[in-house]
A and B are shown apart, each in its own frame.
Chain A
Amino acid sequence: MRTTIPIGPYHPLLEEPELFRVVVEGERIVDIDWRTSWNHRGIEKIAESKTYEQALFLVERICGICSTSHPIAFCNAVEDLADIEIPDRAKYIRTIVAELERIHSHLLWLGLAGHYIGYHTVWMWAWRYREPICELFEIISGNRQSYAMMKIGGVRQDIKEETIPIIMKTINELEPKIHMFADAILDDPVMLARLRNVGKLSKEDAINWCTVGPVARSAGVDIDIRRDYPYASYDRVEWKVITQVDGDVLAVAVVRLLEILESIKIIRQCLEKMPPGPLQVEVPEIPVGEGIGVEEAPRGECFHYVQSDGTNCPYRLKIRAPSYVNIPCFRSRFIGERISDILLILASVDPCYCCTNRTIKIDNGKVKSTMTDKDLLELSWKETEQLREHYKGYPGGGLLE
């Protein structure tokens, strides 16, 4: 017998209400449908009536977590359109801000993932380690979120000489903690049993559903905008693209954890290499034409397309956020999984909103009972608890060795 479980559409905590209609047969999921945009803000339409400078602030408000990715992508697009080359120091500052943001976003995700499977210690730790990064942002830009650092033709604010040792100290302190964290999580047999082979995404599906970022890299698709379309100063520092082959929730977690370590490496090199010099160049009149800007946000590739008709406002601005292509891959990931894994798989792509408000269980068209996010969480926690009982006394998985 088939049952439809709607997940969504609203949650007061989250900025992006979405609805998943999950069709289940017993415990197993057989189909899923996605619906979104109840809070469509019409940013693409609004941008057409704003000047380029104003539109930059507008795109910064697309997402609260990756609030520097969209501005960088937009700047890349306008700079591509008008052939602007930004100064070297600005390139390094852009890289540092973008990588700090990646660290805080990945830690945020890690904490939430821990919360979903009932590992509250992971949740508390991850968010505690994230806090100094947010404080760094406050020192650099004056804001914990929405830093307003980017500007077409450069950056708005400098990273001052006296701030550099503070950043250095913070990331040096963070690095051993991430190592410890990775060992603690990936050596835990319960965690491995709970995450491994859940929500598997094959390489073919990853390409067919056009996934980007950590989701694609966890399935073995070797793409990273930072390497393939070098912007800012990524081509001047040494780092590597993290890929895994399994495509399950565990692989996504590993990709994100190791990416934090890569980000720390990038920031350290940038701070050492950052040359003195101007922060911005004068922006010429924007010519008629079109430009494309891409940026690797924490969740994947941000894509901005700008068409100009020669006025001071963009004629058309097209924005493709990473979650827009990462969410539809659920259609292939969910099939065959259990209800208790719904939350985990939803969370694994870090879809810019993390929880569910209410779930109504409909049996033969009649509303039977309403499941809240709490019920779903409890389902997930119960499963982890069972595994914990099962794995009592087992040695670690030793994944990182």
Chain B
Amino acid sequence: MVELTPIKKIKENFPDKIEETWQKSSRRTYVTVKKDAVKDIVSYLMKNLGARFIIITALDTRKGIEMLYHFSFDQRGCILSIRTFVPMPLPEIESIAQIISGAEYIEREIHDLLGVNFKNHPNLKRFILADDWPEGLYPLRREHKCQFPYRTVEEQNLFRQEILKKEEQ
């Protein structure tokens, strides 16, 4: 499979920030990068390579909150996903809303549902959850119980440690 030009360029410009590249097919590529380089890479993709931002997927995994920034190169017909891991228990990452205005709302959504704190976000208010939803409960985290009554924050922390312990065994 031929390596795509955007991937080559990222590798040239950010050699020490890239941990892994996986080209699934000619149209799908996943690049794992270090957390602190995300903003620079996103800015480079948008300004120099003319990518179109699609969305951010965030999911709760063993290694922390996994964030996938999906970009589309429409002329080439390929989707590039920048993957990074934000370590728990206090996930924090630089916001990209100042580079791409369209990313503002998805960052607010991830802040609501998974509790990721986006630094330098212009307006990190509640967006998806109700105004009276208890603080510190994040519905898309693994320790969240869907039935009422929900686990409290302390119970959640205990539960999370139990899951992690079970998985280690």
Please report the total number of A residues contacting B with Cβ < 8 Å: 38
Known A-B contacts A208-B102, A292-B79; the reply to A37 vs B127 at CB < 8 A is yes
Contact of A80 among B28, B68, B72, B74 (CB under 8 A): B28
Is B160 an interface residue, CB under 8 A from the partner?
Answer: no
Contact of A292 among B70, B74, B102 (CB under 8 A): B70
Please report the total number of B residues contacting A with Cβ < 8 Å: 33
Complex interface: chain A residues within 8 A of B102 (CB): 208-211, 325, 328-329
Complex interface: chain B residues within 8 A of A128 (CB): none
State whether B55 touches A320 (Cβ < 8 A). Answer: yes
Complex interface: chain B residues within 8 A of A290 (CB): 24, 30
Contact of A210 among B30, B52, B77, B146 (CB under 8 A): B52
Which residue from chain B places its CB closest to the CB of A224 in the assembled complex? B74
Is A42 an interface residue, CB under 8 A from the partner?
Answer: yes
- Give the Cβ gap from B95 to chain A, nearest Cβ, in Å: 15
Is B81 an interface residue, CB under 8 A from the partner?
Answer: yes
Chain B 67-91, CB within 8 Å of chain A: the 1/0 string? Answer: 0101010110101010000000000
Is B59 an interface residue, CB under 8 A from the partner?
Answer: yes
State whether A318 touches B57 (Cβ < 8 A). Answer: yes
Complex interface: chain A residues within 8 A of B53 (CB): 210
State whether B139 touches A305 (Cβ < 8 A). Answer: no
Which B residues between 79 and 109 are near A, CB-CB below 8 angstroms?
79, 81, 100-106
State whether B57 touches A305 (Cβ < 8 A). Answer: yes
State whether A303 touches B74 (Cβ < 8 A). Answer: no
Counting residue pairs across A and B whose Cβ atoms lie within 8 Å, the total is 79
Is B128 an interface residue, CB under 8 A from the partner?
Answer: yes
Known A-B contacts A208-B100, A208-B101; the reply to A316 vs B57 at CB < 8 A is yes
State whether A228 touches B74 (Cβ < 8 A). Answer: yes
State whether B139 touches A45 (Cβ < 8 A). Answer: yes
Chain A 296-308, CB within 8 Å of chain B: the 1/0 string? Answer: 0000010101010
- Give the Cβ gap from A18 to chain B, nearest Cβ, in Å: 11
Known A-B contacts A45-B146, A325-B102, A331-B101; the reply to A303 vs B127 at CB < 8 A is no
Complex interface: chain B residues within 8 A of A328 (CB): 101-102, 104-105
Which A residues between 290 and 335 are near B, CB-CB below 8 angstroms?
290-292, 294, 301, 303, 305, 307, 315-316, 318, 320, 324-325, 328-329, 331
Which residue from chain B places its CB closest to the CB of A320 in the assembled complex? B55
Which residue from chain B places its CB closest to the CB of A324 in the assembled complex? B105
Which B residues between 91 and 148 are near A, CB-CB below 8 angstroms?
100-106, 127-130, 139-140, 146
State whether A303 touches B52 (Cβ < 8 A). Answer: no
State whether B70 touches A303 (Cβ < 8 A). Answer: yes
State whether A223 touches B105 (Cβ < 8 A). Answer: no
Contact of B77 among A37, A211, A229, A291 (CB under 8 A): A229
Chain A 211-249, CB within 8 Å of chain B: the 1/0 string? Answer: 100000000001100001110000000000000000000
Sampled A-B contacts (30; CB under 8 Å): A37-B129, A38-B130, A40-B128, A44-B140, A45-B139, A45-B140, A80-B28, A210-B52, A210-B54, A210-B103, A211-B102, A223-B74, A229-B27, A230-B77, A290-B30, A291-B28, A292-B28, A303-B54, A303-B70, A305-B57, A305-B68, A316-B57, A316-B59, A318-B55, A320-B54, A324-B105, A328-B101, A328-B102, A328-B105, A331-B101
A-B pairs, 6 with minimum CB distance = A210-B102, A318-B57, A320-B55, A316-B59, A37-B128, A209-B102
Beyond A208-B100, A208-B102, A292-B28, 12 additional pairs, beta carbon < 8 A: A34-B105, A36-B127, A37-B129, A45-B140, A210-B52, A229-B79, A290-B24, A290-B30, A303-B55, A305-B57, A315-B59, A325-B102
